[in-house]
């Protein structure tokens, strides 16, 4: 059993309280390797933003759970080395079983998500409550995120063909019965780089797909029922057009990629939404930069020469997200 506090990590309780009071959202950035982690921490130090490092079950398999734990500890020390210690949480994204959540808690995670949204309501409640009871009884309180509603799209092993909006009439009962610290809801966000089909969208004058608006009416109803309670949005990458174009320019084949407009995310961040998950945008930014280097310098074979520019582009994007979209800059 390893406590996250020995690694220098924070849980999300104080982060969310500050976000709700301040009208901003904490960035929750997924990482799988060193370059992504360097970019996240450097961006958050330079913008003085708290941050949640998200790890999926796929990331644990890819990078090794022990290495990821020490990378998170290294991230805290890296923040200090860069001259400003920002609060860092290590969070399990889309945990699908009690056993996985327990393993993460035991290995030093400060926060876990148990995603029982695909289960019947009562089974979701029972599974979520079981994780909450284990997490909260630790000597160092581990925070838990639950989910109501289903997001469409694909993210690692999380696959759903269509969205099911969160039902506001269920949220009070769910939070009361489970004891979760935050609640992920479905109001029209979606996983992956192709969040909507062309048929669901309109096109602007430049031919760019414009997705349907988020269901802020559902969010507002949930806020009324759970005043001051931390709400989470998954599947919130904006899928920047410039990265999609660059990837395709240098040999990629992304067709009809479309994300959530950033102005809608900023509106959400000013509400009870205090954690916004961004994964696909990081993948796109790094891939765009790597493809450009390899296309322009086909003889290059040193990973540092193409992963380095990928890391730099990630940092630039994350800084802008913290400042312009999430509003978390200056709150660490």
Torsion, Cα of 62, 68, 74, 78 (10° steps): 50
Cα distances (Å, whole numbers) of residue 113 to 70, 72, 131, 206, 212: 20, 17, 9, 39, 27
- Count of beta carbons in the 10 Å neighbourhood of residue 249: 12
Question: What is the C-alpha separation between 239 and 244, in angstroms, rounded?
Answer: 7
Q: Can you say how many angstroms the Cα of residue 172 is from the centroid of all Cα atoms in its chain?
A: 24
Q: What is the DSSP string of 146-211?
A: EEESB-BEEETTEEESS-B---HHHHHHHHHHH--SEEEE-SS-BSSSB-S-GGG-EE-TTS-EEP
**Are 311 and 38 a contacting pair, CB within 8 Å?**
yes
Q: From 30, 36, 97, select the one nearest 60 (Cα to Cα).
A: 30
Question: What is the C-alpha separation between 27 and 46, in angstroms, rounded?
Answer: 14
| Sequence-ordered list of residues with C-beta below 8 angstroms from that of 332, at least 6 positions apart, any chain | 44, 48, 49, 50, 84, 86, 87
Element (H, E) at 249: helix 241-249
Burial degree of 231 (CB within 10 A; 0-12, 13-18, 19+): buried
- Count of beta carbons in the 10 Å neighbourhood of residue 300: 12
Tell me, yes or no, if 93 is annotated catalytic.
yes
**Are 135 and 174 a contacting pair, CB within 8 Å?**
no
| Sequence-ordered list of residues with C-beta below 8 angstroms from that of 93, at least 6 positions apart, any chain | 28, 30, 54, 55, 56, 113, 277, 279
Selected catalytic residue, list 93, 96, 181, 279: 93
- Give catalytic residue positions: 93
């Amino acid at each position: 059993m390893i406590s996250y506090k020995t690694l220098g990590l924070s849980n999300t309780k104080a982060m969310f309280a500050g976000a709700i009071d301040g009208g901003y959202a904490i960035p929750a950035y997924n990482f799988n390797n060193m370059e992504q982690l360097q970019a996240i921490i450097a961006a958050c130090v330079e913008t003085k933003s708290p941050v949640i490092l998200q790890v999926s079950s796929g990331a644990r398999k890819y990078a090794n759970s022990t290495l990821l734990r020490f990378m998170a500890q290294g991230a805290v020390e890296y923040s200090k080395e860069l001259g400003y210690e920002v609060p860092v949480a290590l969070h399990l994204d889309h945990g699908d079983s009690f056993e996985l959540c327990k393993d993460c808690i035991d290995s030093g995670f400060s926060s876990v998500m148990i995603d029982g949204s695909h289960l019947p309501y009562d089974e979701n409640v029972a599974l979520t409550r079981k994780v909450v009871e284990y997490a909260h009884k630790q000597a160092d309180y581990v925070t838990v995120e639950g989910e109501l509603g289903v997001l469409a799209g694909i993210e690692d092993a999380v696959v759903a063909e269509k969205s099911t909006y969160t039902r506001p009439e269920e949220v009070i009962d769910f939070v009361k019965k489970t004891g979760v610290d935050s609640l992920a809801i479905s109001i029209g966000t979606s996983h992956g780089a192709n969040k909507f089909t062309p048929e669901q969208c309109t096109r602007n004058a430049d031919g760019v797909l414009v997705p349907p608006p988020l269901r802020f009416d559902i969010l507002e109803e949930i806020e009324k029922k759970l005043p001051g309670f931390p709400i989470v949005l998954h599947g919130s990458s904006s899928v920047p057009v410039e990265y999609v174009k660059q990837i395709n320019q240098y040999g990629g084949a992304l067709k009809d990629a479309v994300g959530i407009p950033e102005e809608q995310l900023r509106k959400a961040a000013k509400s009870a939404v205090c954690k916004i998950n961004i994964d696909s945008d990081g993948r796109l930014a790094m891939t765009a930069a790597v493809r450009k280097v390899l296309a322009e310098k086909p003889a290059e074979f040193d990973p540092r020469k193409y992963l380095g520019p990928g890391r730099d582009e990630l940092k630039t994007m994350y800084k802008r997200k913290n400042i312009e979209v999430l509003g978390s800059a200056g709150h660490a």
